[in-house]
Amino acid sequence: MERVWNSGKVIVTGAASGIGKAIVNHCLQEQTAVIACDIKEDALYDLKQSMGGKERLYTYRLDISKYEEVEKFFEYVTEEHPDTNGLVNNAGIYLAKNIMQYEPEEIDRVLDINIKGAVYFSKFFGKCLFESKRRGSIVNLSSVSALDGSTDAIYGLSKAALIGLTKSCAINYSPYIRVNAVAPTIVQTPMMSQIPAWRVEEYLANELIDTPVLPEDVADTVVFLLSEKAKHYTGATFDLNNGGYLR
> Which residues are part of the catalytic machinery?
155
Which residues are registered as beta bridge partners of 238? Answer: 182
Residue 201 CB neighbour total at 10 angstroms: 10
**Alpha-carbon distance 64 to 120, whole Å?**
8
In 57-116, which residue ranges form alpha helices assigned H by DSSP? 67-80, 104-111
**Alpha-carbon distance 137 to 61, whole Å?**
22
- DSSP-derived pairing of the beta strands 237-240 and 57-61: unpaired
Task: State the sign of the Cα–Cα–Cα–Cα dihedral 69, 70, 73, 74.
Answer: negative
